[in-house]
Amino acid sequence: MRKENSSNAINRQFLSESCILNAAVDAFSGRWIPQIIYSISEGLNRFHLLKNELPNISEQVLGRKLKELEKEGIIIKEVIPDTVPVGVCYILTGKGKDLLPIFVSICEWGKKYVVENEMS
């Protein structure tokens, strides 16, 4: 949980208010967030499937990140009917689906510039 009074939170708020790009990037940045969004888009939409796909993430962190994505309106949590215990899956919203081509563009940029610089 983010502390609203911390200097990081104050700086994040200032940057978000001063430039829409900062606000947009903040909505999907952070450790694990892009990978979780991508994994859900690939059909890994149950908690245990995401945990298996991302073995280095703790269950607490995964749960917290899913809640953050839900709060941002990037995913929704849907109850799977007729399951015992009650099962849920995560689905990308339109807002979440609109991130996918952006991620592809960022990956292409990374292949061109980040990977290139690491090999130099």
Domains of the chain with bracketed CATH: 1-30 (no CATH), 31-119 (1.10.10.10)
What is the reported pLDDT for 115? 74
| Rounded CA separation 60/95 (Å) | 25
- Taking only the tens place, the pLDDT of each residue in 15-58 is 778 888 888 888 888 899 999 999 999 999 999 999 999 999 99
What is the reported pLDDT for 6? 84
Q: What is the pTM of this model?
A: 0.81
88 vs 30, residue with greater confidence: 88
CA 28 → CA 24, 32, 99, 116, distances in Å?
7, 10, 8, 24
- For 88, the enclosing helix (H) or strand (E) is strand 87-92
